[in-house]
């Protein structure tokens, strides 16, 4: 065994996006591609100090190329002075479990292998992301430094050791580094048991409450099975599609009503269980479904915030809430009622880390089926599901009753996202540029019965470290609080994805039963008119509506 220095040349385009570097598997399979990015990570971290004993956590969502990537990362970690690596058995660790494990073992950081909700398999996507010692995604100044290194690399360092057996819990060595294969579920399950009233949820299941958790053949299967069926006594078969597969069974592991259509159909059927839920590729997203009702993620955040104290982990109340800019303002209403602050951040979980570390917020959420709290520094799919179970157990109500009760009290924020996927990238850029130029003239203009109160390109100044993120999405806010938001996705791997977000507030409970797309149709038309979306992209309609 020895450490080699291998000459290399930079690859273009290794800039991390909203959540790490995501590319086609075939791109990652080019010789040196993964190695270059991992070298850039280690160069950014710098060599460990004398006697530092640096520990890192490594794991992924089990998609195609996960195991190969882990073997490479282990050999490179050994060449960069890492003392110990904790790896999930089988190379499996959900994104929330990586965050949990980093924090619990006071690790220096972690590497997550996942392209999250993007499809997997040999023709699918792969991804890699670095998380810092608080357990959260590296902030922009670190990912910027990594990108700079990827452009200037001339070599990488790697051990020539053979592969490690990832399937046996226990310890081995590469060079001077200890490789510890750990149970991927244990630390996470223990944390969940401390946050939620497991006795109440157990009693709920014992009383005949039925649930269906669709793991979509992705990473949350083993976690859901252990916790729901193992610890909480849900009947066998509650968790479906629970075996993580390298290609997610050919599916698209994004828990929304479009990609988890099977679950939605089940929840609308005659034999629908009381509660349905699904999670994404890496286990950080969640969808909450009742009988015949899918809960909008923005509503879920607001409902969790309004009811936080039902769960033992939050019985002292919450400090504040943060939501990403495109997420609906339903949570803002709850924050106002509770007299706590509500922060608006750019899209992506990395912007929540400082707020949680500074104890300014307890709960965070995104419209993209992501919810979480300060228990870790990632969004957490199963956590949200357990919160809802805890809530239903305490309240003795159905999902629909909880949601309707919330709307009756706080009003309803009708909300939808329209995605235009794989649009020509230059056309999407041209649309955004033209739109930016129009912004100054929009304020004060009327469109139908809406009048524009504010139109800008969202700029975020982090209240803790004062770092500034610019060009985070176009906001067009109406006088009545309705909003149109437009931005380009930072997680796609084909062309550009245009995301159009729409929100309208309705206080009157007599008008809480309008079909969402109908309720938002005027705003859709206005957005099309202002942005020239059709003209620029040539698209008549969105590819996905959630």
- Give catalytic residue positions: 116
For residue 499, the partner it binds in ligand VG1, Co ion, none, with Cβ less than 5 to 8 A by kind, is ligand VG1
Residue closest to ligand VG1 when measured from CB atoms: 116
In the numeric block, which tokens belong to residue 125? Answer: 């996507």
Nearer to Co ion (CB atom), residue 94 or residue 354: 94
In the numeric block, which tokens belong to residue 251? Answer: 């599916």
Minimum distance from CB of 366 to ligand VG1 (Å)? 4
| Residue listed under structure tokens 């290794």 | 14
How many helices (H) and strands (E) are present in the chain, helices listed first?
18, 27
For residue 18, the partner it binds in ligand VG1, Co ion, none, with Cβ less than 5 to 8 A by kind, is ligand VG1
Minimum distance from CB of 163 to Co ion (Å)? 27
- Asked if residues 531 and 447 have their Cβ atoms less than 8 Å apart, the reply is no
What b/e sequence results for 226-241 when a residue is b if at least 16 CB atoms lie within 10 Å of its CB, and e otherwise? bbbbeebebeeebbbb
Q: Any bridge partners for residue 285, and if so which?
A: 370
Q: State the alpha helices, DSSP H only, in 207-291.
A: 220-224, 261-268
Residues 6+ positions from 539 with CB-CB distance below 8 Å: 420, 423, 533
The answer to whether 378 contacts Co ion (rule: CB under 5 A) is no
Q: Which stretch, 30-38, 115-123, 209-217, 246-254, contacts Co ion (CB under 5 A)?
A: 115-123
Site string for Co ion, 267-286 (x = CB under 5 A): -------------x-x-xx-
Can you list the positions of beta strands (E) in 68-225?
A: 84-92, 109-113, 125-131, 155-159, 170-174, 177-182, 211-214
Rounded CA-CA distance 43/48 in Å is 11
Nearer to ligand VG1 (CB atom), residue 234 or residue 423: 423
Nearer to Co ion (CB atom), residue 116 or residue 238: 116
For residue 490, the partner it binds in ligand VG1, Co ion, none, with Cβ less than 5 to 8 A by kind, is ligand VG1
Q: Which stretch, 2-10, 112-120, 436-444, 481-489, contacts Co ion (CB under 5 A)?
A: 112-120
SS3 468: strand
Nearer to ligand VG1 (CB atom), residue 241 or residue 286: 286
Minimum distance from CB of 137 to ligand VG1 (Å)? 9
In the numeric block, which tokens belong to residue 12? Answer: 């273009």
The answer to whether 299 contacts Co ion (rule: CB under 5 A) is no
The answer to whether 116 contacts Co ion (rule: CB under 5 A) is yes
Minimum distance from CB of 301 to Co ion (Å)? 16
Residue numbers at the binding site for ligand VG1 (CB under 6 A) = 18-19, 116-117, 280, 284-285, 324, 347-349, 366, 368, 370, 489-491, 499
Nearer to ligand VG1 (CB atom), residue 223 or residue 349: 349
Minimum distance from CB of 251 to Co ion (Å)? 14
Nearer to ligand VG1 (CB atom), residue 229 or residue 367: 367
Q: State the alpha helices, DSSP H only, in 52-92.
A: 66-79
Length of the chain: 546
Minimum distance from CB of 253 to ligand VG1 (Å)? 9
In the numeric block, which tokens belong to residue 35? Answer: 């190695």
Rounded CA-CA distance 199/312 in Å is 11
Q: Which residues bind Co ion (CB under 5 A)?
A: 116, 280, 282, 284-285
């Amino acid at each position: 065994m020895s450490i080699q220095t291998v000459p290399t040349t930079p690859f273009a385009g290794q800039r991390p996006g909203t959540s790490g570097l995501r590319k086609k598997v075939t791109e990652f399979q080019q010789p040196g591609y993964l190695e270059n990015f991992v070298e850039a990570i280690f160069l950014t971290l710098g060599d460990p100090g004398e006697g530092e004993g640096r520990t890192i956590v490594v794991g992924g969502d089990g998609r195609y190329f996960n195991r190969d990537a882990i073997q490479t990362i282990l050999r490179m970690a050994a060449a960069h002075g890492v003392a110990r690596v904790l790896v999930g058995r089988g190379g499996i660790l959900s994104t929330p479990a990586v965050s949990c494990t980093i924090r619990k073992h006071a690790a220096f950081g972690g590497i997550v292998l996942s392209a999250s909700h993007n499809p997997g398999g040999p023709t699918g996507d792969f991804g890699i992301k670095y998380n810092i010692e608080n357990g959260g995604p590296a902030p922009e100044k670190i990912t910027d430094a990594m990108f700079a290194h990827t452009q200037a690399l001339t070599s990488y360092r790697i051990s020539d050791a053979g592969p490690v057996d990832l399937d046996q819990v226990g310890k081995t060595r590469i060079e001077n580094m200890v490789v510890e294969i750990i149970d991927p579920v244990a630390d996470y399950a223990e944390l969940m048991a401390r946050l939620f009233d497991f006795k109440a949820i157990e009693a709920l299941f014992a009383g005949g409450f039925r649930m269906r958790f669709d793991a979509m053949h992705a990473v949350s299967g083993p976690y859901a099975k252990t916790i729901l069926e193992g610890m909480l006594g849900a009947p066998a078969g509650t968790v479906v599609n629970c075996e993580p597969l390298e290609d997610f069974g050919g599916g698209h592991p994004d828990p929304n009503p479009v990609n988890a259509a099977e679950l939605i159909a089940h929840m609308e059927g005659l034999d629908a269980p009381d509660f349905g839920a699904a999670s994404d590729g890496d286990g950080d997203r969640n969808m909450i479904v009742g009988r015949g009702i899918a809960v909008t993620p923005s509503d879920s955040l607001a409902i969790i915030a309004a009811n936080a104290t039902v769960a033992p982990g939050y019985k002292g109340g919450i400090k504040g809430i943060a939501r990403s800019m495109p997420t609906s303002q339903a949570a803002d209403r709850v924050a106002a009622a509770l007299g706590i602050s509500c922060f608006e951040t750019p899209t992506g979980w990395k912007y929540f880390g400082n707020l949680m570390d500074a104890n300014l917020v307890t709960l965070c959420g995104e419209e993209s089926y992501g919810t979480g709290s300060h228990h870790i520094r990632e969004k957490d799919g199963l956590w949200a599901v357990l919160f809802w179970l805890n809530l239903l157990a305490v309240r003795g109500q159905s999902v629909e009753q909880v949601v309707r009760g919330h709307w009756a009290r706080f009003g309803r924020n009708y909300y939808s996202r329209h995605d235009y996927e794989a649009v020509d990238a230059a056309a999407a850029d041209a649309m955004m540029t033209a739109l930016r130029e129009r912004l100054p003239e929009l304020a004060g203009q009327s469109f139908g019965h809406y009048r524009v109160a504010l139109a800008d390109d969202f700029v975020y100044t982090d209240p803790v470290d004062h770092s500034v993120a610019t060009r985070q999405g176009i906001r067009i806010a109406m006088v009545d609080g309705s909003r149109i938001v437009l931005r380009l996705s930072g997680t796609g791997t084909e062309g550009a994805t245009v995301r159009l977000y729409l929100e309208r507030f309705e206080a009157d409970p007599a008008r809480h039963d309008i079909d969402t797309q109908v309720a938002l149709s005027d705003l859709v038309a206005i957005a099309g008119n202002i942005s020239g979306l059709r003209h620029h992209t040539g698209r008549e309609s969105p590819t996905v509506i959630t």
